[in-house]
Structure 1
Amino acid sequence: MLPFLLLLLLSALTPASAWIPVEDWESGNVTTSVGESGQCLCHVYLPETIFPVDRVQHMQQVSKDLILEVDIQLNKIEGYQGKLEVYLRELADLSLRVTMLESSADSYIKLDFEMLRIELREFEALVSQLKESLNSSSPVFNSLYTEIRNMTLIVNQLETYDKSNLQVIRIEFAKLQKKLEECQKEQEYIEPDIGNCNHTGILSISKPLVGQLNAHLSPGYQYGGWGKDSKPVRGTESMYWYGAYSGPYVHDFYQYADYEKLLLRSNSKYHDLAWSGFGNNYIVRGNTMYYQINNPFSMSKLNLTSSAKDYRVIPSASQKFSYSYSDNQNLDFAADETGLWVMYASEESKGKIVLAKIDEKSFGIEDAISTGVYKQRAGNAFMACGVMYVTRPVDVTTEEIFYAFDSKTREEKNLSIRFPKFQEKYFNLDYNPTDQKLYMYNNGYYVSYNVRFNKE
């Protein structure tokens, strides 16, 4: 019997041209023996040139693949069965809720009906998904669709009997909406305590208020700055300044009597700078513009009334270190409730920011303090109540105040005060103590923020 089965296997796997008659087999290729139970065993050795080993291996692999595919399909069917049981339970629950609505429709509000409609739509989508997954057109699915449509019609009909309740709900919703709007306004804007530093630092930054595109009305003017005088002379309290350029240099400047004229680009006062500046980290204080020049590398100032100008070299300041958004931002001027400041990095500080107080009368450095933050890590920095706050980008739409240094106590700390940006890059950020706002020139746009301090 065994030789016969062996011949059948060989006939199925071996081409006719590979057959060798039995009488031609060598005696060394066939051996016989008796098994433990007394059965006759026949052993045949076939060289690979005769027996198709590769075809046998291929059939074994195909068999394994088929078994795996069957297991996958069985698992899918089990999963679909579980989903169907869940859907049927949900359908039963919906049916019960619709029955309850039919019995006492006047005790339910519009929100109940709307929630039912949403759930019915979701259930219909789930049934469609299951039908496509099973690739079936079974009457069970048609019955489910019919049930869902019928329940949707009942819900729509029942809602029409609830008009009196709906009118009451609308009135209550209107009251609630008004309260929410009032609460939102209180959260978005808190009246600042101008000039008062009775707080422990910045608590949060508001959402950005975007004025408009720059006065040149061109997105090509990405560099620049805008804001208010941090110490206005009498009669110029409402004045705004603005400058914008296509590169990191500063060559002219505009003043507007108030915010409306800034937006309308009307009645501006033009200033042509005799000494071109760089870096865009300039400010206006006491009707004087403070900015950086590179020849010689120094801090410079221009009186906007008399056009008188002056400069001072800071021996330790270096041109090697700038903020991450732009080159040439070596000297960053800032003003707050405590006075006028300039921030820079030096070789001695190994690229870390040096905070220096400026004597406004002599236009010299009054005091210089080394801090612990690298300037090239920062997006920008500003001063508020004697504290230096340093920012960095989180992503293309978010900025973060991550470091603070108190000039009085010489203490530093890490922060995480995040606020949104209108555009990815900005080249001027300054705090103004007269209205306690941040002014940002954000890739060509006027942007401002309300600053909220921790009063506790």
Structure 2
Amino acid sequence: MVWFLFWSLLSIQAEDGASLHGSINPAGRCHYTFTVASPQESSCPGGDIKSEMDGVLSRLTLLEALVSQLLAGADGGTGSKGGEDVQKATAHVTGERNKLQQDNAYLTQQVRELQRRLEEQNREAESLKQKSCEQTQLPGGSQRDTRPVSGTYIDPVHDLANGSYQEMKAEVTEVPASQLILDGDCGDLLSVGDPVLHRKADSITGKYGVWLQDPEPRGPHYTKKTVWRIDAVGKDIRQLFAYEDLDQFSRGFPMKVVVLPEPLESTGATVYRSSLYYQRKRSRTLIRYDLDSESVASRSELPGAGFHGQYPYSWGGYTDIDLAVDEQGLWAIYSTSEANGAIVISRLDPDSLAVGKSWETTIRKNTVANAFMACGRLYTLASYTAANTVVNHVFDTATGVRRPVAVPFRNRYKYNSMLDYNYAHRKLYAWDNFHMVTYDVRLGPGSR
């Protein structure tokens, strides 16, 4: 029983690095001490080892005195009285221990809650820092004379002597935005960030078009950083501009201009696994153009697909066939006469362009402004001109179920003619009234 009293009075140990100690001070009163381990010992003021040892010695002295009194009472009095004293002391110690354990549990819970709040604040601070980086834009400034020299193509919007740009670039390099993507985050779309401007077209041919990056390049010549751009206004659209990265894209110096063997139609093209996929002008023919060999690798008819203004998005532009890429592969978004203008989704073989499986939705294609695929789900945009609109429908190919949603979306320049998802960078790429922008997206945990 003495040893039980010794260990009960000495300390009550807490979990997760926290401890609660009870002792009797020289005045005869109970004294409790609650201790939480610090990540840095130097940050704990008053952490003197000698004072802790003095406290332990003091408690041991009091404990020895108490044990001596109990033993003396047991020897000098009757056996029953000594037993009663021991029982009373035991009950008192047990009650104190129980109370201390309850207090310890409560304080431990409070510590965990404070740690959780601290982690949330750190995440929020990181998010704010990321938005601060993303909202930094290139300064407007005046345009310089950029006429072609010796037959070399020079994009009109650039300025090598722009000191402000160089300063901004250094800042972004020093504090990069976080691009952490968890494997389990492939569920529903939770939010779309504000648009970040990367480039503005300089002529009427750039009112709308296609610009994107390959999420999964396989050839030796291009990487995930390579930027591809097609100006989609004109009678014969064949030029595909390649930029080394976003910096070169922003300055306006293409490293290469590829002339396609057959013209494309509208803004439904996409780049995937080092190939450009596009719809041939005035037809339902799909073409896979190998970017490394610069040749047509395959072509295929999309059965029953409308084309050249039969089933476009609400903004028009001959957007009957929209090709898209996500974590699950290559898709075609279109409609047929059998579907009466409702959106049809088909998964395509990326090599042969053969149709694998198709889903017919109940979403009228000409009632939505644009669409994209993410995690096997189709998302549609309500308006292409409203500055503040929403992603208004989602169709899940895993369940075949369509649901209304209302994820806020901004058309800053009020004429959004292209919208594509890049799963490698976890962004949406858009062409909004001469302006090429990206949006950060946040997806929920996967449920598949």
What TM bracket, shorter-length normalisation? 0.5 to 0.7
- Which residue of 302, 316, 323 maps to 1:314? 302
- Deviation, 1:450, is 0.2
Equivalent positions of 1:193-204 (< 5 A) are 193-194=180-181, 196-204=183-191
Say whether residues 1:405 and 2:379 are aligned partners: no
CA distance in 1, matches of 2:419, 2:340: 24
| Structure 2 residue matching 1:262: 3-state secondary structure | helix
Contact 1:248–1:280 under 8 Å retained in 2: no
Partner of 2:325: 335
Equivalent positions of 1:46-445 (< 5 A) are 184-185=128-129, 191-194=178-181, 196-214=183-201, 217-218=202-203, 221-233=206-218, 236-247=223-234, 250-309=237-296, 310-319=298-307, 320-393=310-383, 396-445=386-435
Question: Which has the larger helix fraction?
Answer: 1
Equivalent positions of 1:30-41 (< 5 A) are none
- Deviation, 1:249, is 6.1
| Change over 3 Å in CA distance of 1:186–1:298 after alignment to 2 | same
CA distance in 1, matches of 2:282, 2:205: 26
Deviates more, 1:256-265 or 1:394-403: 394-403
CA distance in 1, matches of 2:293, 2:414: 38
Q: Deviations over 1:19-70 (max 9, x none)?
A: xxxxxxxxxxxxxxxxxxxxxxxxxxxxxxxxxxxxxxxxxxxxxxxxxxxx
| Structure 2 residue matching 1:427: 3-state secondary structure | strand
CA distance in 2, matches of 1:426, 1:248: 21
| Change over 3 Å in CA distance of 1:219–1:411 after alignment to 2 | same
- Deviation, 1:181, is 7.5
| Change over 3 Å in CA distance of 1:332–1:374 after alignment to 2 | same
Contact 2:376–2:396 under 8 Å retained in 1: yes
- Deviation, 1:224, is 0.6
Contact 1:387–1:407 under 8 Å retained in 2: yes
Contact 2:195–2:410 under 8 Å retained in 1: yes
| Change over 3 Å in CA distance of 1:248–1:351 after alignment to 2 | farther
Letter in 1 for 2:128: Q
Letter in 2 for 1:286: R
CA distance in 2, matches of 1:358, 1:419: 28
Contact 1:195–1:434 under 8 Å retained in 2: no
CA distance in 1, matches of 2:384, 2:334: 23
- Deviation, 1:444, is 1.1
Contact 2:198–2:246 under 8 Å retained in 1: no
| Change over 3 Å in CA distance of 1:251–1:201 after alignment to 2 | same
- Structure 2 segments unaligned to the other structure (5+ residues): 1-122, 135-176
CA distance in 1, matches of 2:291, 2:384: 37
State the identity as a percent. Answer: 25
- Deviation, 1:300, is 1.4
CA distance in 2, matches of 1:385, 1:248: 35
Q: Deviations over 1:246-289 (max 9, x none)?
A: 34863211111111111122242111111111121111111111
Letter in 2 for 1:184: L
CA distance in 2, matches of 1:249, 1:196: 42
Structure possessing the higher radius of gyration over alpha carbons: 1
CA distance in 2, matches of 1:248, 1:185: 44
Contact 2:382–2:392 under 8 Å retained in 1: yes
| Change over 3 Å in CA distance of 1:224–1:238 after alignment to 2 | same
- Structure 1 segments unaligned to the other structure (5+ residues): 1-178
CA distance in 1, matches of 2:229, 2:198: 13
| Change over 3 Å in CA distance of 1:358–1:250 after alignment to 2 | same
Q: Deviations over 1:407-444 (max 9, x none)?
A: 11112110011111121112211000111100001111
Letter in 1 for 2:361: T
CA distance in 2, matches of 1:439, 1:231: 16
Please report the RMSD computed on the Cα atoms of aligned residues, expressed in angstroms: 2.5
Partner of 1:452: 442
Letter in 2 for 1:241: W
